[in-house]
Amino acid sequence: MLTVNQALGLVLENTPQKIQHLRKKLLDAQSFTLAERVVTDRDYPPFPRATMDGYALRLEDLEKENKFNLIGEIFAGDNWTQPEKIKTNSTVKIMTGAPVPECFDVVIKKEDSNNKENIVTIQSNKFKKWMNIARQGEDAEQGKLLGQQGTFIDDSFLTIAASLGYSDLYVLAPPLVSLISTGNEILPVGAPVLSHQIRESNSVTIRAMLKKFNAKIHKSWLIPDNPQMLAEKISECMNSDICIITGGVSAGEADFIPSTLKSLGVQEIFHKVMIRPGKPIWFGRKDDALFFGLPGNPVSARITFKIFVEPCIRKLLRLPAQKNYFFPILKTRTKMHDFEEYFRVKIINQDNQSYLQEIESNGSGDFINSLESEGIAIHPADKPELPQNSQTQFLFW
Amino acid sequence: MLTVNQALGLVLENTPQKIQHLRKKLLDAQSFTLAERVVTDRDYPPFPRATMDGYALRLEDLEKENKFNLIGEIFAGDNWTQPEKIKTNSTVKIMTGAPVPECFDVVIKKEDSNNKENIVTIQSNKFKKWMNIARQGEDAEQGKLLGQQGTFIDDSFLTIAASLGYSDLYVLAPPLVSLISTGNEILPVGAPVLSHQIRESNSVTIRAMLKKFNAKIHKSWLIPDNPQMLAEKISECMNSDICIITGGVSAGEADFIPSTLKSLGVQEIFHKVMIRPGKPIWFGRKDDALFFGLPGNPVSARITFKIFVEPCIRKLLRLPAQKNYFFPILKTRTKMHDFEEYFRVKIINQDNQSYLQEIESNGSGDFINSLESEGIAIHPADKPELPQNSQTQFLFW
């Protein structure tokens, strides 16, 4: 059986990258992936900018003199025309955000000055060149690459794009995803259930998790354990980028997914992985369409989505892998098997330190307890024990 | 001057809580706040559920015998009618997810059995009561409260709501927010800029940050430093829950926001806080409308939004405060003032440990470098130094 890393490697190897572009209004581009190069159109700051209200002066003058002739004032947004020749000991009053004229190289804040009849006295002797001036180009020079194909468009990037004057952005077309939930025992959310039946939740969970990538739902169906009906519906998903099927993926007598997929010409790339929960996961491909068969129970479906499907979507969208973090684990954790185990955790703060705390649960069918969880932590395959306080890898949901 | 905690306390004290409800389709309810009680409609699991494919038996029989008469088979979704009397040494074949009939209390997995002409031989002697059965009600009994007014509707909650049969949810009406950017030097994103002008980005950043609360934008304007125009537009925002104004909030000669707000009858609750960046922040109230004047530079605006406005929105929506985490800081950090300082950081992983690394920047006007940041860390007011490796409080953006 494949390890998690081997299986994930095969998923990524078989994932093509999106090339179709869309053009989006800046604010509608949030959570898409950039498809163009974004480059500074000019220096940033674009002009030497006063960072305080005060007086602009020449350091050279200031080193000799503390009284200055006021020759003008500049507000933010003003286009002050500098006289051809500036006399020694001249100053201009300047507001935060205003451009500092070329001839000046210091701004003394107004609290350190005194203006009497247009004679400004500087009352501080702590000054140095460029004080209280954000120099042109110090944050980024013109032509600096700030975004490219594969940059995720988050709040920070939107600030940049607006500042650089992008009112639209080219983004990668979102992945087209089909969702098929299977199981005779499963009914749609709104229908009345009998005591031996349960309601469909996997497609809801997965749609919610897909939202952060702006993925587009192509088809979404709930289908009983019937090979003909499954084949008919799955064959309509051949143009999806990804088809995610939950349930029916194990080796039981009602587990028709692997055989149905094969009958439709989908090549099996792997079936079963050394992961807990989620061992029965199936992955295959037909041309550029990828097929995931995830176990049906809600916790397994969610964790295998996170570990295998989400990285696939990130690769499709040319995004880097999800960042993971390390936190010490609150209590020693042991396991008796050689599978990689993913367990739901919350993070608790004690004495100015954050710890991972495992969510108590009755196993992988217990979706109720997911409510408390912030994400999942990894118990590596080869470690029987994660000792108390040991740094443990963690992924936010 | 107020400390950050004093100021935040005043913000929260003055924030009313939303009471208007909306009804949303389940999937459209994501990122809203629940406005109703969500209670388990029945036990979960709703029936004793087989967690393996195998044979259901009576422990009592199994302790004496290893051959059983096959009297039926049950697939997930089947409503098997239990005969009135079950003979000793009877078994039914059962699939994962199927209801285990009342009379049985053990499931032996099929790998540990052998079925020959309807006589099933159990080949394992490791068994105990309720083995491979998820018992009715073990995850949650009927009537358990799983969500209430103030529960944030995230992926985990949507799974629960679907499983419990909620096809719609009552949610709190989202906050109505107005955004006013000010400054003579500022032009709308699409307009051509001259060298002394810059483009408006604060409203873009704030709208992007508001998205996670599904906030509704009431008005959004860019207004020059003109008291009449400011007064006219601000007076149209009196029905917003929150009005966020960026720029013009300090004590400079073009800083008209505090006086304009007062002239409109908005009561000043505080002006200036011991925070860096963001000291000039202004906060006031008129009836139930709250007014924030944030400093105009993009980094200060974003940080003061995060520290003061976001907690206000959370209170409006009855949500708990944003969770913060502690990570060790990679390098010793010193400060020379007694303000609380918020600095942009990224998290880096080294030798299986996560550390906070400060983003190098040219001060609070340097928004370009925010690109790399994952959030902000807190340098408390009273600590001149955060020593290397000391646990430091961190907030994701």
Query: B144 to chain A: nearest residue by CA?
Result: A368
Contact A211 B30 (CB under 8 A): yes
In angstroms, the separation between the Cα of residue A201 and the nearest Cα of chain B is 5
Integer-rounded Cα radius of gyration of chain A = 30
Integer-rounded Cα radius of gyration of chain B = 31
Residues of A in contact with B48 (CB under 8 A): none
pLDDT at B204 > cutoff 90: yes
Q: Say if B112 is an interface residue toward chain A (CB within 8 Å).
A: no
Helical segments of B164-256, H only: 202-210, 227-234
* Residues found in chain A: 397
A261 confidence band (pLDDT: 50, 70, 90): very high
B302 confidence band (pLDDT: 50, 70, 90): very high
In angstroms, the separation between the Cα of residue B203 and the nearest Cα of chain A is 9
pLDDT at A365 > cutoff 80: no
Say how far apart CA A267 and CA B178 lie, in whole Å: 54
Say how far apart CA A130 and CA A238 lie, in whole Å: 63
**Domains (ranges, CATH) in chain A?**
4-19+174-316 (3.40.980.10), 26-43+140-172 (3.90.105.10), 49-134 (2.170.190.11), 325-396 (2.40.340.10)
Q: B364 or A225: which carries more pLDDT confidence?
A: A225
Contact B391 A209 (CB under 8 A): no
Which residues sit opposite A344 in a β-bridge? A376
Contact between residue B301 and residue B134 where contact means Cβ atoms under 8 Å apart: no
Contact B96 A252 (CB under 8 A): yes
Exposed, middle or buried, A167 (CB in 10 Å: 0-12/13-18/19+)?
A: middle
Contact B162 A201 (CB under 8 A): yes
pLDDT at B314 > cutoff 90: yes
Which residues sit opposite B242 in a β-bridge? B177, B290
Give every CB contact of residue A252 below 8 A, 6+ residues apart in sequence: B53, B95, B96
Q: How far is CA A164 from the centre of its chain?
A: 21
pLDDT tens figures, A225-242: 999 999 999 999 999 999
pLDDT at A320 > cutoff 90: yes
Contact B323 A347 (CB under 8 A): yes
Region A288-293: what's the mean pLDDT? 97
pLDDT of residue A369: 87
pLDDT at B364 > cutoff 80: no
Q: Say if B336 is an interface residue toward chain A (CB within 8 Å).
A: no
pLDDT of residue B254: 84
| Residue B287 Rama label (left phi>0; alpha psi -120 to 50; beta) | left
pLDDT of residue B134: 96
Q: Say if A159 is an interface residue toward chain B (CB within 8 Å).
A: yes
Say how far apart CA A304 and CA A4 lie, in whole Å: 10
B362 confidence band (pLDDT: 50, 70, 90): confident
pLDDT of residue B165: 97
- Buried-exposed string A71-91: b where 16+ CB fall within 10 A, e elsewhere: ebbbbbbbebeeeeebeebbb
Query: In chain B, positions 222-241, which contact chain A (CB-CB < 8 Å)?
Result: 224-225
pLDDT at B61 > cutoff 80: yes
pLDDT at B64 > cutoff 80: yes
Region A55-80: what's the mean pLDDT? 95
pLDDT of residue A119: 97
Select from B27, B97, B368 the Cβ nearest to the Cβ of A296: B97
Contact A196 B367 (CB under 8 A): no
Contact A250 B53 (CB under 8 A): yes
Say how far apart CA A47 and CA A390 lie, in whole Å: 50
Say how far apart CA A34 and CA B384 lie, in whole Å: 41
- CA dihedral sign of residues A305, A306, A307, A311: positive
Contact B367 A184 (CB under 8 A): no
Query: In chain A, positions 4-23, which contact chain B (CB-CB < 8 Å)?
Result: none
Contact between residue A354 and residue A365 where contact means Cβ atoms under 8 Å apart: no
pLDDT at A306 > cutoff 80: yes
Say how far apart CA A210 and CA A107 lie, in whole Å: 51
Query: Is the preceding omega at residue A192 within 30 degrees of 0, hence cis?
Result: no
B18 confidence band (pLDDT: 50, 70, 90): confident
pLDDT tens figures, A168-197: 999 999 999 999 999 999 999 999 999 999
Compute the mean pLDDT over every residue in chain B, rounded to the nearest whole number: 96
pLDDT at A364 > cutoff 80: no
Query: Is the preceding omega at residue A277 within 30 degrees of 0, hence cis?
Result: yes
Q: Say if A96 is an interface residue toward chain B (CB within 8 Å).
A: yes
Query: Is the preceding omega at residue B101 within 30 degrees of 0, hence cis?
Result: no
A7 confidence band (pLDDT: 50, 70, 90): very high
Say how far apart CA B260 and CA B232 lie, in whole Å: 10
- Buried-exposed string A308-320: b where 16+ CB fall within 10 A, e elsewhere: bbbbbbbbbbbbe
Instruction: Please give the ipTM for the structure prediction.
Output: 0.95
- Percent of chain B scored above 90 by pLDDT? 93
pLDDT of residue B81: 87
pLDDT of residue B203: 98
A362 confidence band (pLDDT: 50, 70, 90): confident
Exposed, middle or buried, B287 (CB in 10 Å: 0-12/13-18/19+)?
A: exposed
Compute the mean pLDDT over every residue in chain A, rounded to the nearest whole number: 96
Contact between residue A186 and residue A67 where contact means Cβ atoms under 8 Å apart: no
pLDDT tens figures, B212-244: 999 999 999 999 999 999 999 999 999 999 999
- Short-list B48, B76, B42, CA closest to B135: B48
Q: If you search the block for the tokens 């995610």, which residue do you land on?
A: A244
Region A75-94: what's the mean pLDDT? 92
pLDDT at A243 > cutoff 80: yes
Say how far apart CA A220 and CA A172 lie, in whole Å: 23
Residues of A in contact with B336 (CB under 8 A): none
Region B95-114: what's the mean pLDDT? 95
pLDDT tens figures, B46-57: 999 999 999 999
Region B65-89: what's the mean pLDDT? 93
Q: pTM of this prediction?
A: 0.96
Contact B95 A253 (CB under 8 A): yes
pLDDT at A148 > cutoff 80: yes
